[in-house]
Structure 1
């Protein structure tokens, strides 16, 4: 009896320890989404079977009407802000619909075409539909416009705590040209250099521009870095999604230890059958080499506690599972 009780105590203790490690991991991903919710209201010309975002075909000279339904689940009246953003590719190579970066384009601006009221008030425990109308130009269009409707709760400024962080929603908006033949894809290379990525980390940053109104999905990116002896010191392969008429800086994460000197960078991008290549020789100064070395050390130090924490969690989980099995057999 004593042995069984001891095992019960051990199980409780171990399970409690496991939960101590597990709860912060779960809490990190929690969001207060119960306060309000949003859903798109589609136009009559919404693409069939697309139900999670706006997908509209360009109709020369015609007017479209789309909307957003905001449901306020709280006990108080709330105000919400609505903005239209151009979809951008961020430094991680994924699409960002919340970017407030100014829209640079030689043609149609989705941020000017689709405009919602900037602020709306929704009464407590009610839903409100907000609409906007926009008219397509008379000319045909063979490209793709991509943006997002960004909705967030408007918070009052608090002098002691600052602005409170709130959950925001982004509903993607895609307008497809009425001419199915898209422009020939064109990628332009900009600067390629060693740059500071964060406070302590450095990367090889390359600026890329998708010149045309094409959405380039799953673009393969291959990079090789060679030293003066033509030895490959770093390689990276990745995949990115590049939004239409977008310029972004894409980092190549450096794994090797670098000394000062010349390095030859070879870059190849591939989308379908099209390939774009760029090669450049860059010079790494003594100071930059020193900073890269410190960056490499800090990455190792920062990663050690995370690895140890995960390892400890796994060990405790296995022990707890084994003791629970023993308890059931008794």
Structure 2
């Protein structure tokens, strides 16, 4: 739907996501549609990046072997437990590139279907299908790749711990990325000590691979630029086919009307996102929804042009000092990269 300016608005979109669409969406996002281990370019000054490629290749080989099982008498095969790899590191060191490369390598190995989902999408999948049904749905997969592994509340901690444990027992291997070591998941966000058993179960599934290095998105990039004016944003949006134009507060309010798993559908078909009146946030719930939208925009490679405050000041110092610090820093990094792609 177009407004008076003739430009579409995200706030006019009310997407729905069917179970079938959720399953069909278990693939890497468009930004990582053509990646491979060979296309990963490790920083030669960071040996851990080259080591990580080898670790992921070895993981894929083990995952195929575990999925095939162990041959027993009379031609039957014993189900072997899956293996796990956990890519830990800062922002922009290529973790998602390697995760998607693992997905493609295993999908091509003909050992079973492969799944790729963000942590939020995986919890939504379990919510839509039910816990037992979700296990049945994924139990024949060779691998489940989980990007942006986060544990934001006790319910998710218990749910994902039990889900992954059940899948591993059935021969499914698990690959994940995060900015937090498995045994530190949940720190600073809730009473993690009350859920140590679940967190330790998750940690025991994975072999942790640490990837060091600077954020590649910021290589040769200047600091956050001075934003354009509201009028400049509106004028530019009117000249871009497939663009959307929204007021920041109105967009943040609209995001609250739907589950973050729908944000992917919300931006489907959009070529560029224009936002007016950006300002620092003081509500954690609003900020976390903006993080989710930013992740989906980044996955889809959709440029952003925004007026108002600089995008590296949207999340307050108080928020950055809290338990979601890494989420906010990742979102800031991605927003700046998308803004650079938008030409501002």
- TM-score if structure 1 supplies the norm length? 0.23
Q: Greater RCO between the two (CA within 8 Å, min separation 6)?
A: 2
Greater strand fraction, Structure 1 or Structure 2? 1
Greater helix fraction, Structure 1 or Structure 2? 2
- TM-score if structure 2 supplies the norm length? 0.22
